[in-house]
Amino acid sequence: MKKFKDIFVLSTAFLMFSCSSNDKAKNDGGTKTDPVEKEKPNSNYKPAFVGQTRVNGVTTNTAFQASVLTSELTNPWGVKSLPDGRLLVTQKTGTMRIVTPAGVVSAPITGLPAVNASGQGGLLGLCLDPDFASNQMIYWVFSEAVSGGNISSVAKGKLSNDEKTIENATIIYRSSPANASNLHYGGRILFDQTGNLIVSTGERSVLETRPLAQSLTASLGKVIRITKDGKAATGNSTFAGAGALPELFTYGHRNPQGLAVHPITKEIWLSEHGPRGGDEINRLQAGLNYGWPIITYGIEYSGEPIGTGIQQKEGMEQPVYYWDPVVSPSGITFYAGNRIPEWENNLFVGCLSGMHIVRLVIKDNKVAGEERLLASENQRFRDITQGSDGALYAVTDQGRLYKIDKK
């Protein structure tokens, strides 16, 4: 088996990677290897089932390449493909940019509500209206400074015909309660199969708000399901207890920065930052509790256990997969193309502290293999999406936009 190798091209804006080619490439994920994680875990916690962590590695057999379309973005956070193949990108500081397939970057798109870009805040995830080709509507998440502190907010607006501004930008939803913390905003957004918005929010990190991930009267540490106007969507689960918020979809999350819809099952999957250990991939089911901060495979940064130090509890869901040490999973996407057979219906995860892209082979809602891509680039991969051309596109905190496709 040949190892993944870099091919350097004499261009300031273009870099290619090649993976070993094999005529026997199959839809089984590729060549099996030992687990990719070699570092010692932070705790002696045991997984709840075989394959929940440190599953066997896989290596892609089909030759592929990754090219840097541009390095001119400023702290990009979200990326989505426009119908014509260009890429719409959010920048943490509060503007959007459009990038052509040739790597030409537009002037900043203005007209958005002000963001609080301190700490982990700013202009975060985005999605396009299912009817974007006719209505030009965009939806996004951002951190907003309000009375009492900061919150995760959702807004919508129309991309102007000249693509220079967002028209009639309107804030349709605000999380609660506000807190002075500038951490753990969550921040991804997508449309589900019913045309409603799914939004992830963080629990804001600090000890006073951490327990609110379990509170049904607060929208911190949640995934919510709302209409295009920001109201609770019809068909949401009904939670017991006075004051339970009608927009809640799932709860018990820490800092969920990735959302994706499975191409076949149409179920929603989520990536979530753990503390010291305990990064998670979850398959979301409406009305369920995903455990934070009561159960976790992570520990405090100080090394102490979190709460009572338990990993399983009746009535709380187990992650499909977790990492210890962490990789800091951010944006995720499923590969719905067929240009690279081994990748069909695989989950791709942009990793920050891991500084690579994770490929997870998913079979029967479990992880059957893990591969780490582009690790030699030393980039913090913030988001990844599939383009209208079938290729994958990823943005990094350092300002790069990559195209990843069959060679």
What pLDDT score does 3 carry? 34
Q: Among the options 184, 253, 273, 356, which is catalytic?
A: 184
**Rg of the chain over CA atoms, in angstroms?**
20
Cβ(115)–Cβ(123) under 8 Å?
yes
Q: Hey, which residues does 406 pair with through a beta bridge?
A: 64
The backbone torsions φ and ψ at residue 320, rounded to the nearest 5 degrees and listed phi first, read: -60, -35
Annotated catalytic residue 253: no
The backbone torsions φ and ψ at residue 210, rounded to the nearest 5 degrees and listed phi first, read: -50, -45
Q: Which domain holds residue 53?
A: 31-406
What pLDDT score does 28 carry? 72
Residue 296 in any domain: the answer is yes
Q: For residues 62 and 305, what is the distance between their CA atoms, to the nearest angstrom?
A: 43
Instruction: Give how many domains the chain has, as a whole number.
Output: 1
Residue 20 in any domain: the answer is no
What pLDDT score does 158 carry? 98
Cβ(400)–Cβ(91) under 8 Å?
no
Question: Which DSSP symbol is given to 246?
Answer: T
Residue 18 in any domain: the answer is no
What pLDDT score does 24 carry? 39
Cβ(122)–Cβ(150) under 8 Å?
no
Residue 24 in any domain: the answer is no
pTM of the model: 0.94
The full DSSP string for 389-401 is TS-EEEEETTS-E
Please give the biggest Cα pair distance in the chain: 64
To which residue do tokens 């379990």 refer? Answer: 214
What pLDDT score does 12 carry? 34
To which residue do tokens 């809640």 refer? Answer: 248
Residue 151 in any domain: the answer is yes
Q: For residues 174 and 199, what is the distance between their CA atoms, to the nearest angstrom?
A: 11
The per-residue pLDDT for range 82-141, each reduced to its tens digit, is 999 999 999 999 999 999 999 999 999 999 999 999 999 999 999 999 999 999 999 999
Count of positions (residues) in the chain: 407
Cβ(293)–Cβ(280) under 8 Å?
no
Measure the CA angle with vertex 400, ends 269 and 5; round to 5°.
Answer: 85
Q: For residues 309 and 251, what is the distance between their CA atoms, to the nearest angstrom?
A: 19
Cβ(198)–Cβ(191) under 8 Å?
yes
Residue 14 in any domain: the answer is no
- Average pLDDT for runs of 10 along the chain of length 407: 33 40 54 95 98 98 97 98 98 98 98 98 98 98 98 98 98 98 98 98 98 98 98 96 97 98 98 98 98 98 98 98 98 96 98 98 98 98 98 98 97
Find all residues with CB under 8 Å of 215, minimum gap 6, and list them.
none
CATH of the domain at 46: 2.120.10.30
Residue 142 in any domain: the answer is yes
Q: For residues 393 and 85, what is the distance between their CA atoms, to the nearest angstrom?
A: 11
Residue 316 in any domain: the answer is yes
Cβ(88)–Cβ(126) under 8 Å?
yes
